[in-house]
Homo-oligomer: A and B are copies of this chain.
Amino acid sequence: MSATEPSEAVVNAWVGLMRAQQVALQAIEADLKQAGLPPLGWYDALLELRRAEGGALRPLELQQRLLLAQHNVSRLIDRLEEAGHVHRSPCSSDGRGQMVSITESGRALLDRMWPIYRAAIAAHVGARLDNDADATTLARLLGQLAARG
Contacts and interface: CB of A to CB of B under 8 A. Distances in A.
Nearest to A7: B132
Contact of A3 (B22, B122, B147): B122
A4 B127 CA distance: 10
Nearest to A145: B20
A1 B146 contact: no
The interface size bin for chain A is 35 or more
Stoichiometry, as copies per complex, reads: 2
A10 B135 contact: yes
A144 interface: yes
Contact of A139 (B12, B136, B145): B12
A110 interface: no
23 contacts: A1-B126, A1-B129, A1-B130, A1-B131, A1-B135, A3-B122, A4-B118, A6-B121, A9-B135, A10-B135, A13-B136, A13-B139, A15-B139, A17-B17, A17-B142, A18-B21, A22-B146, A24-B145, A125-B145, A128-B144, A128-B147, A129-B145, A138-B141
Given A2-B126, A19-B146, A22-B67, 7 more contacts: A2-B122, A2-B123, A2-B127, A12-B139, A14-B121, A14-B125, A23-B148
